[in-house]
Structure 1
């Protein structure tokens, strides 16, 4: 047990952090100093989330806010209906016992209930915490315990069962809400969506308004958990101002329109628990009074394109994997088209590229009134990227040391990304510090640029992962472009039409992955070998060359675990899953 003197010193430090407003905090009730430039050209007045929501609901009352499809029919909510349901949810959370600066977890696929619960929890003074529906019960337990979660909202019985497994460990949990499907087994603290909203009748408008008015833009309103394959998760604290300022800067940067000039239409399909999706889907939509439509649950498996055709969004937020799917689909249709159609499509794509490049010139730079710098650049100018601005998060909840490592005393956030600023001040990302491979010789290799070269030189390759940590040389794990099972999202043995066409051009007859692996197709294997030789000749050093490589017997997928939901490769998981293949590289 610490001494009285030690306890007094600890309390003094806690009071100091509470009273002294720094650029960062690790306390759940902490406040931060907003990064405002004295000579700022355009600095926005700090707003809370509620300020932003009620402004739109007041000005654009009867415009469509949300669209959800049920049995081939779209259910629509106007902005005033959206706002009122958020208030209902806020009151219901208070009735369930939500405490100030405690968590409300939301685990399920994107839907109007997800958005309403998220905003409602913030209005009620809690922390909204998005939880991936793919998380394990243990991961959910860690998130719930760290955020002192009072309420967990789930979409179906599958997610409910995860909560049932861990609820005995959650000492702060007071209620569970299920908003999809019929509840299969009744229990005292379990509520359907309608029964949950009905709880709002016992809470007055005055009580809710008092809580809303007590909130400050520089206080935390949401937590984003970074679950990694190594080490415990970190709870990223985001303030009201982080959300409202970043949203406003995004709107300005991308020149979104507002009614009555025009109404933006958006489609939500990537998990809203990712803050990037949330900013572009929920918050941008609210800021510009746009109409947000929710895609079907199996969107990423193939139905997204149907929703896009039906809704016809004016803006679409995509990740590389989605753009790759669309490009592969376009190329596949291109293969069977007439000569005239091919020429027409090529002309249209070239024209579209030129137009978008013109529009992009001037984007890709820091938001106005923010700063970006690169530290300790190497001979190519690549170094650690640091950013400064009101988009920088508050800190890691209950993790002061990690926060101090991430944000320095002047408010600069060390992103962990590597890159450089070119002559026009465009930022180029070249990888991440955590991805750096240190060979046994001590030389450090950034795998990103090399992996991109491999994909560029070998169009049949889908994913590339360099390995070699603490080893004498680099090796590469390759996957080929395979068709995907629309129902399960799993990669098939069959190659994509684009990959088959590539093989045909090489005079290879392979149509399946199994036709190629284990050196069964000498033509394809020789092509890959020659391409890697070319890449190695351009390598910046002997150590940056790929000595050995292998084609894996399956493509990567979200379901198998190699990819995150945004289709980014999880290197740590790949290293573990393919340890046997990696060990073979270094056998004598």
Structure 2
């Protein structure tokens, strides 16, 4: 048996067990960093918790939940943005033997009530008064919900009936409970079995009501050990964690962190990422493609604002980066040596001094690797960052597979693929191209939905992902598209919209989101949503300064601008893939309007319904392909 097999097969039954092992092994090592507001309104500072200090709070939360009457496998919901208290609360739930139900803080009161009721959650840990209000509003409909614990209790009306209490009060109750029952938490952890429910994560609901995915303790213990066995992360790494912890991608990062023992800096405020990176100086960060697209667009916009010469230098450097990345990755794949011709290497060295070094500094200057997941990253954007020395390792997984089924292997990564399966995960491609997965990370099923479970999970453990993909001879997986998103036009031609959309995102620095349409039609069209800061910067230079966003994107100048990009991209597309006409949306797509999931994935049916008139207008009359 190999060391990797031993590590995975001898895993403990739960992440709670791994957490106790980590605390015992490195009690005084730094575990978490988190921002703290200044008392006088000045600049924020960052504080740290050692593993021992974190454990004291985790044990207090766990014991506090026990004191509230929470029993093994009963659900405790967390409705909060990403912050260190989310992690401590989740670990407290797990160490009590209970199960965490995750709720995005952006979820409205109706859907929050649905999740709380469907999961049968006994306690809700709410971030603040806003999240508390959602539960108060629907309290009469939630008889199972016996308590709400509020993290930031300032401004929150906790009432006087004991139903709501602060996190500080919960922890104090836990400390008192532990004085009487000092071994209560260790005993609870010791009694956890691998098949016991650990987490209910509700799917993003891109096509309807979310389904609760049942993930037992063994899923997370397996993921933790598989990430460790992968070898990407080391004990001296610093991770910057901003992803939503209600999403499986963010959640799995906490498991890997515990087993490896590196430092994690936690701050879920997306608008603080650029500000935080030079302060945190991470060596590792996970993100969704939209973040890398925004960085790329921002760099391009800044270069454009610097004048014609700077913009020409940026465009030249971007092409050099892509070519350098493609050549070196291809040579590494074929020969094991990531070399490039002398001329290209010389150009790359000049571009590095002029452009790439500044970009790396913006990421903190110490970034060794990023992992991108949740959606497809445009290969051209991936090659740009690769050539600039910011190595984006694409990965792949679903909520139903505990997030991390595939990831690119360190230096041997290949842009445009999602890498190889994690140790212990099996993969095969069905006759219709669908990716099937089997392994310890696969869910038990959908909560209370046996028929839905049987639609995707076979009796022998194979899970139908709904994604289409191809495996290379040496095991690298390429995702082609979502099975349900494949377009078949009226002439019988199949089109993968994500691939076409990715080409537009790479070509046009103004695009925030794009939706390609063409199912049962005789030609393809597109809806473009433009990035507000970038397009308004362009507007200042093109006679539209001071105009509001909606007026700018509705102008003839912007239509002509976008038409130029459409013609350029169409040159590289098959005839039946080409965009014959398009519309620029009057606003960007976002989570608040329901166009995107909290993990920034496009809700195609929602966008198509909302902008149906624009789509109908593009297909009005008769038009030949």
Fold agreement, TM-score > 0.5: yes
Checking the alignment, whether the CA contact within 8 Å between 1:438 and 1:469 is kept in structure 2 is yes
Q: Distance in 2 between matches of 1:459 and 1:584?
A: 26
1:31 is matched with which residue?
Answer: none
Structure 1 pair 334–254 and aligned structure 2 pair: CA distance change class (3 A): farther
Q: Contact 2:566–2:579 (CA<8 Å) still a contact in 1?
A: no
8 Å contact from structure 1 (residues 102, 147) kept in 2: no
1:269 aligned partner: 242
State the distance in 2 between where 1:42 and 1:192 align.
40
Specify whether residues 167 and 116 from structure 1 end up closer, same or farther in structure 2 by C-alpha distance, changes over 3 A only.
same
Residue 285 of structure 1: aligned partner: 257
Residue 422 (structure 2) pairs with residue 371 (structure 1): no
Among 455, 459, 462, the alignment partner of 2:512 is 462
Runs of 4+ in 1 over 6 A off after TM superposition: 337-342
Equivalence for 1:320 = 289
For the structure 1 residues 190 and 290, does the alpha-carbon distance in structure 2 shift closer, same or farther, using more than 3 Å as the test?
same
Partner of 1:480: 530
1:178-189 equivalent positions in 2, closer than 5 A: 178-182=150-154, 183-188=156-161, 189=163
> Bigger CA drift: 228-237 or 117-126?
228-237
8 Å Cα contact 2:8-2:225 kept in structure 1: no
- Which of 539, 542, 546 is the matching residue for 2:579? 546
In the TM superposition, what whole-angstrom CA distance separates every residue of 1:282-324 from its partner, at most 9, and x where no partner exists? Answer: 22222222222222x6x312x2222221111121111111112
How many angstroms apart in 1 are the aligned matches of 2:282 and 2:356? 23
Deviation at 1:560, TM superposition (A): 3.1
Structure 2 distance, partners of 1:470, 1:352, is 38
Displacement of 1:460: 3.7
Does residue 345 of the first structure (1) align with residue 354 of the second (2)?
yes
The 1:229–1:374 alpha-carbon spacing in structure 2 relative to 1, beyond 3 Å, is: closer
Corresponding residue number in structure 2 for 1:361: 412
Match 2:224 to one of 232, 247, 253: 247
Residue 44 of structure 1 is matched in structure 2 by 9
Q: For residue 55 of structure 1, report the CA deviation from its aligned partner.
A: 0.8
Which of residues 589, 595, 617 in structure 2 aligns to 1:556? Answer: 589
Give distance in 1, aligned partners of 2:186 and 2:266.
30
Match status 1:202 vs 2:167:
no
- Contact preservation (8 Å) 1:41, 1:369: no
Task: Name the SS for the 2:152 alignment partner.
Answer: coil
Q: Contact between 2:226 and 2:423, CA under 8 Å: does it hold in 1? A: yes
Q: Shift of residue 63 of structure 1? A: 1.0
Shift of 1:525: 5.2
Aligned counterpart for 2:117 among listed residues 145, 148, 164: 145
- Alignment-derived partner of residue 75 in structure 1: 47
Whether contact under 8 Å (1:92, 1:198) holds in the other structure is: yes
Q: Deviations for 1:427-478, whole angstroms, at most 9, x for unmatched residues?
A: 1111112223344566653311222233344444332202244545432111
Aligned residue for 1:486? none
Q: What is the CA–CA distance in structure 2 between the aligned matches of 1:223 and 1:239, rounded to whole Å?
A: 9
Equivalence for 1:11: none
Gaps in structure 2 of 5+ consecutive residues: 39-43, 318-350, 360-383, 393-408
Work out the CA distance in 2 between the residues paired with 1:69 and 1:293.
9
Change in 2 beyond 3 A, CA 1:574/1:254: farther
Q: Residue 584 in 1 paired to residue 593 in 2?
A: no
Listed one character per residue, the Cα deviations across residues 146-201 of structure 1 (whole Å, up to 9, x for unaligned) are 21111001111111100101111112111111111423342321111111112222
**Pairing of 1:84-483 with structure 2 (within 5 A):** 84-182=56-154, 183-188=156-161, 189-200=163-174, 201-202=176-177, 204-258=181-235, 263-280=236-253, 282-295=254-267, 299-301=269-271, 303-335=272-304, 336=306, 343=351, 344-346=353-355, 348=357, 353=387, 356=391, 359-361=410-412, 364-377=419-432, 383-439=433-489, 444-483=494-533
* Shift, 1:535, TM fit: 4.8
* Range 508-517 or range 393-402, more displaced: 508-517
**Separation in 2 of the partners of 1:54 and 1:465?**
47
- Give the direction of change, closer, same or farther, for the CA distance of 1:140–1:352 in structure 2 (3 Å limit): closer
- Out of 567, 570, 577, the position equivalent to 1:530 is 567
SS at match of 1:575: helix
Whole-Å Cα distance in 2 between the matches of residues 293 and 197 of structure 1? Answer: 23
TM-score, length-normalised on structure 2?
A: 0.76
What is the alpha-carbon distance in structure 1 between the residues aligned to residue 493 and residue 7 of structure 2?
A: 45
Deviation at 1:86, TM superposition (A): 1.1
Change (3 A) 1:433 1:325: same
**1:23-38 equivalence runs, <5 A:** none
Separation (CA, whole Å) in 1 of partners of 2:559 and 2:441? 52
Q: Spell out, residue by residue over 1:200-258, the C-alpha distance to the aligned partner (whole angstroms, 9 max, x if none).
A: 22351344433322211232211100141533321111121211211222233243222
**The 10-residue stretch of structure 1 (197-206 or 170-179) with the greater mean CA deviation from structure 2:** 197-206
CA RMSD of aligned residues (A): 3.0
1:264–1:520 CA distance, 2 compared to 1 (3 A): closer
Q: Which moved more, 1:350-359 or 1:41-50?
A: 350-359
Cα–Cα, structure 1 residues 63 and 320, in superposed 2: closer, same or farther, change >3 Å? same
SS of the aligned residue for 1:431 comes to strand
- Quote the Cα distance in structure 1 between the aligned partners of 2:251 and 2:520: 39
Give the whole-Å Cα distance in 2 for the aligned partners of 1:481 and 1:69. Answer: 28
When residues 77 and 174 of structure 1 are mapped into structure 2, their CA distance, relative to the original with a 3 A threshold, is same
